[in-house]
């Protein structure tokens, strides 16, 4: 019953215009938090030494994000001889099928630690150490398909918001963390989770979503949704088959979205959520030839955020970078630009 009430609230919000959300953003935030909410538990964090990385100390981290989910991650610490006192943090989120140990995620965390941040990475649900296979696998698609059947849980994007918010709950208790200087970034799936989390939780002081910002509704309305659905192809096709509908039918895609991530093509879409991040610094990085995040939908989302930043006198805190002649990929110079953005605004 709780799910049905929350879904009804999300669908009601979805019928309202984007202008309404620009005028009253807390409605979208509170509705999203209601959808992902669940009983809170103490993080009961555990740390264990790991091999150092380029002389930087690393710790394996475990913490509880709810009563059944124990989240694995790691911390990479900056050089204590060079950086003293409470440190800012950069959290990095991986993409579909990846893990906290992916090459680019590790690169972000290492660059952040060398710049004076505590670098943090965690595994998303049904990825990495949170799978039986130790990596993104069929378990993720199976969980999404089960959500479509039952209406329970949100393994596609939303649950990671909850995990990151509980991670921040833990981080702000640490004596070496500056709770006012927490940055969040992610690639692809992790990029989507970055802007969702930053919109939901104002403790995220700076956000850098890579190839994740997009217009879900724009994609549905303009016939450019199939590449996004293909990122969870097995779950999508299983749900279509069980519904006796075609996986090529846009109306089934809308049904799938509404069941698995309610509101993602309405009140929780990027054009509605990005304004909630203002006036906090936001660097949006997307690729011009990325079928997963069609550039027209990305532009719509960024344009929707500009009035909120302008009204706050913070136009310089919103930056949009397009990687030219690039598919669904993050280039090395974009990673460097993200670290520079964190350095600029979090001042390690």
φ, ψ (nearest 5 deg) of residue 338: -65, -45
Yes or no: say if 137 and 170 are a contact pair by the CB < 8 Å rule: no
Q: Give domain status of residue 232, yes or no.
A: no
Average of per-residue pLDDT across 242-250: 97
Q: Give domain status of residue 136, yes or no.
A: yes
Q: Give domain status of residue 140, yes or no.
A: yes
Q: Give domain status of residue 226, yes or no.
A: no
Q: Give domain status of residue 302, yes or no.
A: yes
Structural domain harbouring 184: 2-216+262-346
Residue whose token pair is 């397009």:
322
Whether 79 shows a pLDDT value over 70: the answer reads yes
Measure Cα distances from 322 to 213, 293, 337 in Å. 12, 12, 12
Q: Give domain status of residue 245, yes or no.
A: no
Pick the more confident residue, 121 or 4.
Answer: 121
Half-sphere exposure of 273 (CA within 13 A, CB side): 34
Specify the pTM.
0.92
Here the CATH number for the domain that contains residue 315 is 3.40.50.1820
Whether 68 shows a pLDDT value over 60: the answer reads yes
Question: Using 50, 70 and 90 to split pLDDT, how confident is the model at 17?
Answer: very low
Count of structural domains within the chain: 1
Whether 19 shows a pLDDT value over 50: the answer reads no
- Compute the residue count for the chain: 348
Q: Give domain status of residue 236, yes or no.
A: no
Q: Give domain status of residue 241, yes or no.
A: no
CA 100, 103, 106, 107 torsion-angle sign = negative
At residue 27, the pLDDT reads 86
Measure Cα distances from 323 to 160, 217, 287, 320, 328 in Å. 26, 23, 5, 10, 10
CA angle 174, 176, 178 (to 5 degrees): 85
Per-residue pLDDT tens over the stretch 135-164: 556 899 999 999 999 999 999 999 999 999
Yes or no: say if 202 and 273 are a contact pair by the CB < 8 Å rule: no
């Amino acid at each position: 019953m709780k799910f049905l009430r929350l879904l009804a609230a999300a669908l009601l919000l979805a019928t309202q215009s984007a202008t309404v959300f620009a005028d009253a953003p807390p409605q979208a935030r509170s509705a999203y938090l209601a959808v992902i909410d669940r009983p809170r538990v103490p993080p009961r964090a555990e740390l264990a030494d790991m091999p150092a990385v380029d002389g930087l100390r690393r710790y394996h981290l475990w913490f509880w994000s709810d009563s059944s989910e124990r989240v694995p991650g790691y911390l990479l610490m900056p050089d204590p001889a060079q950086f003293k006192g409470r440190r800012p943090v950069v959290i990095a989120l991986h993409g579909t099928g990846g893990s906290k140990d992916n090459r680019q995620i590790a690169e972000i965390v290492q660059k952040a630690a060398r710049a004076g941040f505590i670098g943090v990475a965690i595994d998303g649900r049904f990825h990495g150490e949170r799978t039986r296979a130790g990596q993104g696998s069929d378990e993720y698609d199976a969980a999404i398909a089960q959500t479509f059947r039952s209406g329970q849980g949100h393994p596609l994007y939303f649950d990671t918001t909850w995990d990151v918010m509980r991670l921040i709950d833990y981080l702000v208790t640490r004596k070496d963390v500056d709770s006012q200087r927490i940055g969040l970034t992610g690639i692809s799936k992790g990029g989507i989770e970055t802007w969702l989390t930053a919109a939901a939780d104002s403790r995220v002081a700076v956000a850098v979503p890579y190839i994740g910002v997009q217009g879900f509704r724009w994609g549905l309305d303009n016939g450019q949704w199939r590449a996004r659905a293909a990122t969870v192809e097995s779950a999508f096709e299983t749900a279509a088959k069980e519904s006796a509908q075609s996986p090529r039918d846009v109306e089934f895609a809308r049904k799938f979205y509404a069941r698995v991530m309610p509101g993602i093509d309405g009140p929780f879409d990027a054009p509605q959520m990005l304004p909630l991040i203002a006036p906090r610094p936001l660097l949006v990085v997307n690729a011009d030839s990325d079928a997963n995040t069609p550039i027209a939908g990305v532009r719509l989302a960024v344009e929707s955020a500009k009035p909120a930043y302008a009204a706050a006198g913070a136009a310089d805190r919103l930056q949009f970078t397009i990687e030219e002649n690039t598919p669904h990929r993050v280039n090395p110079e974009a990673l460097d630009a993200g670290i520079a953005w964190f350095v600029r605004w979090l001042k390690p």
